[in-house]
């Protein structure tokens, strides 16, 4: 049996951004019936054992995700080694992963960086692959050489801001940014058109 493609989302405390990305990804995969992709998350300075931040959990549910059973965990070398794709909330998280494991650099991106690179990858060969895990592997391999296309981007444009300690509106904006960044890659893996395929539809479900 072929191994699943493992996506690891990384933020700081593993209470807001990376759990949002993990659970939105799971919701989208379940809704589209996309098999062979595993999504998980961890934090560089995790609040180990904590549930999702309550405000992020509320916003997640509005988007059709489920925060039930989530427990924050610390990023480890083993998690990095086992991941096929590592998507960081912001550049400092990406750089921590690269410092720990230089071999992981080619499969480590910020979430927004990967979304932009995935949009630039020619669809033909990838979309013709017959399984989502194969499409995910091909997309990751094709995205890495395109990093130079983002050289002119303002550096902050690659990051998703941390909503901890901020009003509910910031948690809403963070969830929208994450859902929008996930939409393109997830739709390519599922072979579906359109926006974020969460259980409740597009990010515009957050008000």
3-state class (DSSP) for residue 37: strand
* Predicted local confidence at residue 195, as pLDDT: 43
Q: Can you read off the two tokens belonging to residue 94?
A: 């990406």
> Taking all residues of the chain, what is their mean pLDDT, rounded to a whole number?
91
pLDDT at 165 over 60: yes
Residue 90 C-alpha from the chain's centroid: 11
- Is residue 204 assigned to a domain? no
Residue 41's beta-bridge partner residues? 9
CB-based contact 178:20 (threshold 8 Å) = yes
Give the separation between CA 69 and CA 92, rounded to whole angstroms.
28
Q: Domain range for residue 42? A: 5-192
- Is residue 201 assigned to a domain? no
Give the separation between CA 48 and CA 137, rounded to whole angstroms.
30
- Is residue 76 assigned to a domain? yes
pLDDT tens for 120-150 read 998 778 888 889 999 999 999 999 999 998 9
* Predicted local confidence at residue 200, as pLDDT: 34
- Is residue 143 assigned to a domain? yes
Give the separation between CA 146 and CA 132, rounded to whole angstroms.
21
Gyration radius (Cα) of the chain, Å: 16
Give the separation between CA 190 and CA 197, rounded to whole angstroms.
9
- Is residue 206 assigned to a domain? no
CB-based contact 100:84 (threshold 8 Å) = no
pLDDT band of 193, cuts 50, 70, 90: low
Domain total for the chain?
1
- Is residue 164 assigned to a domain? yes
- Is residue 198 assigned to a domain? no
- Is residue 207 assigned to a domain? no
Identify which of 173, 170, 179 has the alpha carbon closest to the alpha carbon of residue 203.
179
pLDDT greater at residue 194 or residue 42: 42
SS3 string, 185-197, reads HHHHHHCCCCCCC
Identify which of 95, 85, 108, 98 has the alpha carbon closest to the alpha carbon of residue 188.
85
3-state class (DSSP) for residue 163: coil
Give the separation between CA 35 and CA 149, rounded to whole angstroms.
31
Specify the length of the chain in residues. Answer: 207
- Work out the percent of the chain whose per-residue pLDDT is above 90: 81
Kindly report the CATH number assigned to the domain that includes residue 152.
3.40.50.2300
Phi-psi region for residue 36, left (φ > 0), alpha (ψ -120 to 50) or beta? left
């Amino acid at each position: 049996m072929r191994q699943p493609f493992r996506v690891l989302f990384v933020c700081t405390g593993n209470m807001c951004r990376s759990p949002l990305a993990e659970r939105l990804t799971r919701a989208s995969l379940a809704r589209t019936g996309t098999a062979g992709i595993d999504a998980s998350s961890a934090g560089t300075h995790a609040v180990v054992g904590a549930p999702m931040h309550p405000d992020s959990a509320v916003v997640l549910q509005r988007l059709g995700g489920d925060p039930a059973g989530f427990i924050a965990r610390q990023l480890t070398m083993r998690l990095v080694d086992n991941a096929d794709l590592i998507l960081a909330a912001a550049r400092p998280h990406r750089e921590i992963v690269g410092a720990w494991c230089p071999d992981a650099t080619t499969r480590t991106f910020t979430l927004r960086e990967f979304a932009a690179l995935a949009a630039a990858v020619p669809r033909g060969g990838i979309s013709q692959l017959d399984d989502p895990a194969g499409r995910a592997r091909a997309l990751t391999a094709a995205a890495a050489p395109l990093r130079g296309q983002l050289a002119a981007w303002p550096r902050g444009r690659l990051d998703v801001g941390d909503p901890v300690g901020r009003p509910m509106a910031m948690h809403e904006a963070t969830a929208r940014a994450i859902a929008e960044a996930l939409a393109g890659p997830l739709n390519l893996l599922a072979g579906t058109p359109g926006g974020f395929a969460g259980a409740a539809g597009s990010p515009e479900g957050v008000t």
